[in-house]
Amino acid sequence: MTDERYVSLGAPADDEFTLLELADRLLNKGVVLTGEATISVAGVDLIYLGLNVVLTAVENLKHTDDTAARDHSG
C-alpha cells in the first residue's frame, strides 16, 4: 500500500497543500518537448508525499543521475 517513508508525519497545514499542489504541477504537468526530461519523479502523485520529501526528491535527482552514470562507466 502506501510506502511508509512517503507518509507525512502529520496532516499538512493548509498552506502546505498550496505548495504541494503547485510542486505537483511544476514537476508532473506542463509541456515536455522531448522524452529526455531532466527531471521526473517517476509519475508518482506528488500529493502523496510530504512537502519535505518532494523537495528532497528535487534536490537529490541530479545526484542520483550522476551516481548511475558513474556506476555504468565504472
Partner 1 sequence: MRGRPLIALTVADLTAWATETPLEAWTRDDLLAHHALVVRIDAAANGCLPARFATPVTEVLLRERYADLARALDRVEGCAELAVTVVRGRPAPAGEASDARPNDTVQTGGATPPGTAYLRTRAATMALARRLAEQLDAAAGQELIEADHRLAPSNAVLLSSALLVERAAAEAVKARLPRVSDDVRILVHGPWPPYSFAVVDVPTREE
Which residues here bind partner 1, judged by CB under 8 A? 1-2, 7-8, 11-12, 14, 17-18, 20-39, 45, 47-48, 55, 58-63
* C-alpha cell recorded at residue 43: 509519475
Nearer to partner 1, 63 or 72 (CB): 63
Torsion from C-alpha of 69, 63, 18, 31, nearest 10 degrees: -30
- Pair 57, 23: CB distance under 8 Å: no
Look-up: residue for cell 535527482?
61
Q: How far is the CB of 71 from partner 1 (least distance, A)?
A: 18
Nearer to partner 1, 59 or 71 (CB): 59
